[in-house]
Each structure stands twice: as C-alpha cells, then as structure tokens.
Amino acid sequence: MKKLKKVLIYDTTLRDGTQAEGISLSAQDKVMIAKRLDALGVHYIEGGWPGSNPKDMAFFTEIKKAKIRNAVIVAFGSTRRAHTKTADDANIKALLEAKTSAVTIFGKSWDFHVTEVFRTSLKENLQMIYDSVSYLCSKKREVIYDAEHFFDGFKANPDYALKSIQKAAKAGASNITLCDTNGGTLPHEIRHAILRVKRSVKTPLGIHCHNDSELGVANSLQAVGEGVVLVQGTINGIGERCGNANLVSIIPVLALKMNRETLSPKKMKELTQVSHYVAEICNLPLNIHQPFTGRAAFAHKGGVHINAMMKNSKTYEHVDPKLLGNHRRFLVSELGGKTNVMIKARELHMDFDKESPEARRVLTEIQRLENEGYQFEAAEASFELLMHRLMGRSKKFFEIDAVAVRAENIGKENPTSVAEVKLKAKGKEHFEVAEGDGPVNALDRALRKALRHAYPVIDETHLTDFKVRVVNSEAGTAAKVRVFIEFQDAESSWVTVGVHANIVEASWKALTEAIEYKLFKTQRVS
C-alpha cells in the first residue's frame, strides 16, 4: 500500500487569529483552546508573541502546566533589530524566555518593506535574518522561518526575495514558510514562485496565506500540490482584516481529496466540535454556511435535491458529513415538498406516505404559515410542535388567561418593563408579576414564575439568543417581524419562531412555544 505524504498542520489561532477585529482572549482562554487543538492532533500550536504583551508571556507560563501530548508549542517573534547584537535583542531574549522547544521568527523578503518599514539596508536585513536564525538554533531551538510578504517581494525583486530565504536556510532553519501576508496573490502565482524557490533552497517549505482575495484556502492547497509540507492557518479562518487560511477547510480537503496524511480519521470526526468550540470561546457567531463544519454545510432544502438524496447521498454531497462530526439536515420549507415532510415525519416517529392526506395537510399548513412570514428551517422546535398539533398528538400544558406588559421610565437612564401573566396549569390558576430589562425579559420571568409551581423543570432552562427580522420592510413601522428565540438546558438547545406586526406579540408566541417544547420534551423522555 502506498504511503501517504504527510502535511504538518501549524495552527496560529492564538496569535494571528487574535489579531482579528472583535476577538480578545485571556491567557486562560488560550490555554483552553491549545488543549483542545492538541487533543485534535494539530502538529504545531503558535501560542503568541512573548515580550509583546504580558498576556502572551502568561500563556507560555501556564501552558507548561497543561498536559500537552501531541503538539509542539511555538513562540513567535521577529528577527533582531537592525544594528543590534542578537544576544542583546529584547525580542530574541523573550523568545528564549518562553522556553518552547520551537520558535517561529519572521523576516522581510520584500525590499520595499526593508527600506520603508525597517529603514535599513538590504544587506543589513539579510544579516539580521542569518544572525537571528543561527543564534536561536545554537540555543537548541527548532526554528521555523516565516518569510513575510514573500510573494509580493518575489514579484517586485525575485533575486532579493530568494536571497532572504537562502540566508535562513544557510543559518539552519528547519522549515521556511512562504507568506502571502497581504492576501493578494493568485494560485498560479503561488505555483510559479514555489517552483523557483525549490530550485534555490532544499529546506522543507511551509505556506502561510491570508484571505483578502478569498483565496487563503485555495493558495494553501496549491502550495501543497507543489510540495509544501507545512500549512499554517487558523480555526474558522479568523485573523486580521479578512482572516487567515481556514484550517477547518484545509484539513479535510488534504485528507479526503488530496490523499495527504494530516489528522487521523478518528480525530477528523472531532473537527466540527472543535470548530464550534473555538467560535464559542472567541465569542464569535460561527458562519452556518462554513464548509464542512457549518450547521448548513449538509442542509438540503429543495424538493428535487431531497428526493435525490433519499435515493443516494452522493447526489448532492461531496463528502460524508459523519467523517467530520457533522450531520445531514433536511430543511422544512415550502420548497421542500412532500418528500421533506415525509422525512421529518419519520424523524419524529410519524411514519406516513408522502402522498397521504397527512402529508398534504402538513405541507399546506407550512405553505400558509411561510406565506405569513414564518420560517421553520431555523426553528425546528416550532416545526416539531406544529407536526404534533396537526397529527393530534399535542398536549396542552397550560392555558394563558391574560398577559400584559408595560414599559416604564422610557427615555430615562434605566428604563424597565413590567409583565403580568395569568394562566392555568394542572387545574390551578397562577398569577405572577415580574420586572425585566425589556418586555421580552419581563415576560420570560413572569411566565416562568407562573409555571414554576406546576412545572419545576422550567428552572433547568434559560434563554440564550433573541433575534428579530423584518418580514416586509416596505410596510415601514407597520411591517411584520419574525422573532427567533433560542433556549437551552443541560442537554440541548432549541429554536422557536413567532411572527406578528407587534414585536411583543411575535416574541410572546416564540417564547411560549419554547417553554412548551421543554415541557413536551420532558414528558417524552419520562
């Protein structure tokens, strides 16, 4: 059996990724992510730039206490400053103080940057590269050299760009990573440059691409095709400006389409979980359409697609979602047709034929509600409750007698809302009043208080997300709004939807359904 060519995965989420707008990670956040990446099987984890800020140095202190089993932790920095002794350079000292077995240093490959940014001579820059790499190698460090702006430098002055990496190779770098720092290089330009580089140095090569032209993944894969053995990137492609090359896409393409060894198949199944985990710690919403790990990556909505998928999943899926820890979803909408209704019915243990009166009844009701502004593809809890109501399987857990909500101190510094809820549950009447930061918060609190007597399980849930969308914006302030509410308990999360011209009424519909779904779910388990 032919042995697969190995590609090393170098993750820079904790350094380059944190330079993205809106991301700020504590030292402990970075340790948590590093441990998860190590468990995934990433080969190198770049932890940060020691000396640039106390938080990064704190990370290198804390990560030594963690049980890192697979990955090499890397400290990042630059070559020595111009006209400075390497041993005296503060940046070089900080790299050694981080006490990592490997370091990555960047140097200038573009003559424009040497003269305009470093404000030094081209000759001195070459000496800076050589001195820094050789000194760190003498201290028993594995040195990866990042040739910053290499491809722009190669286009502007190829001879100088090549001389810069030759200096790093001669000084003992274990890997020379070519960087498309501005993210403006095209795949065929990547290929042309790498072919020249391979004739100039024998050191193993790496690639580091940014996504400013949305080619970060494509350029990285092109580089691997030309013989590069190390790929740098970030989880979910986070990074400065438009982000870095997305390892979440690169890893499965290398393994499943380019026949390269990266992660083990067992670890590949954890990729979706890791993608979501990093997004959560970074406090960033994960793009549901992200390839491979997004919630919609294997979601099917069109009736023709769904019909074909029922016959063979290869008709509209290029890889099996199970290989990545993701799963296939059939979305409920007016586009899905009766086949989709039948599939969802089976998932809910309602097995009926797509030509049956039940299927037609459900589809007709979905089409009516979607015409009013409802969307069930993102609110599967509402759809499940709808199906059970239409099939006569639903249970009335409570009856609302009266609801009122009022806002107080509008225009003042601390406006509040007060909600009153009167209902019947398990044969008894309950009336409760609650204050909240807004009408939905107040209604949520009052409803919980009123139901808590009959259903203590309500305390297991909490509202995690609230989204409002205008359905028909041309109607101005009289437009209908669509409200999505997400609830969560210890086991799962679920989303419900409400639509009305009154935002409070739409919110109330979604809110009561979310509570109803929790009670329904609890009853089903018991």
Report the chain's mean pLDDT, rounded to a whole number. Answer: 90
End-to-end Cα distance, the chain: 52
| 83: confidence class by pLDDT, cuts 50, 70, 90 | very high
User: According to the model, what pLDDT value does residue 337 have?
Assistant: 57
| 12: confidence class by pLDDT, cuts 50, 70, 90 | very high
Tokens of 206: 């790496």
Rounded CA-CA distance 510/498 in Å is 5
Q: Give phi and psi for 73, each to the nearest 5.
A: -80, 130
Least confident of 178-182, 200-204, 304-308, 464-468: 304-308
Average pLDDT over residues 151-172: 98
**Distance, CA of 29 to chain centre:** 15
Give yes or no for residue 143 having a pLDDT over 70: yes
**DSSP string of 318-378, one letter each residue:** SS-GGGGT---EE--STTTHHHHHHHHHHHTT----TTSHHHHHHHHHHHHHHHHT---TT
User: According to the model, what pLDDT value does residue 475 have?
Assistant: 52
Is pTM, for the whole model, over 0.85?
Answer: no
- How far is it between the farthest Cα atoms of the chain? 88
The fraction of the chain above a pLDDT of 70, given in percent, is 93
**DSSP string of 129-169, one letter each residue:** HHHHHHHHHHTT-EEEEEEETHHHHHHH-HHHHHHHHHHHH
Least confident of 84-93, 168-177, 300-309: 300-309
The dihedral of CA 146, 150, 152, 153: what is its sign? Answer: positive
Give yes or no for residue 99 having a pLDDT over 90: yes
Q: Which of 18, 75, 16 has its CA nearest to residue 50?
A: 75
User: According to the model, what pLDDT value does residue 38 have?
Assistant: 97
Average pLDDT over residues 331-350: 65
User: pLDDT digit string (tens) for 281-299?
Assistant: 888 878 889 999 998 899 8
User: According to the model, what pLDDT value does residue 341 have?
Assistant: 66
Average pLDDT over residues 370-397: 82
> Do the strands 399-408 and 329-330 form a parallel or antiparallel pair, or are they unpaired?
unpaired
User: According to the model, what pLDDT value does residue 352 have?
Assistant: 67
Rounded CA-CA distance 358/350 in Å is 10
Rounded CA-CA distance 43/12 in Å is 11
> In this structure, are residues 320 and 313 in contact, taking their beta carbons and an 8 Å threshold?
yes
Enter the CATH code of domain 399-525: 3.30.160.270
Give yes or no for residue 410 having a pLDDT over 80: no
Give yes or no for residue 190 having a pLDDT over 80: yes
- Residue ranges, comma separated, of all CATH 3.30.160.270 domains in the chain are 399-525
- DSSP, res 474: G
The size of the chain, in residues, is 526
Average pLDDT over residues 209-236: 98
Contacts of 424 (CB under 8 A, 6+ apart): 398, 399, 401, 430
**CA-CA distances (angstroms) from residue 24 to 16, 20, 283, 284, 314?**
12, 9, 9, 11, 41
User: According to the model, what pLDDT value does residue 479 have?
Assistant: 74
Beta bridge partners of 430: 423
**Distance, CA of 92 to chain centre:** 33
User: According to the model, what pLDDT value does residue 1 have?
Assistant: 52
User: pLDDT digit string (tens) for 312-327?
Assistant: 888 999 999 999 999 8
Give yes or no for residue 373 having a pLDDT over 70: yes
> In this structure, are residues 47 and 11 in contact, taking their beta carbons and an 8 Å threshold?
no
User: According to the model, what pLDDT value does residue 488 have?
Assistant: 87
Between these two residues, 210 and 328, which has the higher pLDDT value?
Answer: 210
- DSSP, res 418: E
User: pLDDT digit string (tens) for 214-226?
Assistant: 999 999 999 999 9
Contacts of 268 (CB under 8 A, 6+ apart): 251, 252, 255, 323, 324, 325
| 411: confidence class by pLDDT, cuts 50, 70, 90 | low
Contacts of 27 (CB under 8 A, 6+ apart): 55, 56, 58, 59, 62
| 515: confidence class by pLDDT, cuts 50, 70, 90 | very high
User: According to the model, what pLDDT value does residue 333 have?
Assistant: 59
The fraction of the chain above a pLDDT of 90, given in percent, is 66
Between these two residues, 469 and 418, which has the higher pLDDT value?
Answer: 418
User: According to the model, what pLDDT value does residue 19 have?
Assistant: 94
Rounded CA-CA distance 441/61 in Å is 42
Q: Which of 255, 257, 230, 233 has its CA nearest to residue 244?
A: 233
The dihedral of CA 29, 31, 34, 35: what is its sign? Answer: negative
Average pLDDT over residues 257-263: 95
Rounded CA-CA distance 332/363 in Å is 9
Enter the CATH code of domain 9-18+26-263: 3.20.20.70
- Residue ranges, comma separated, of all CATH 3.20.20.70 domains in the chain are 9-18+26-263
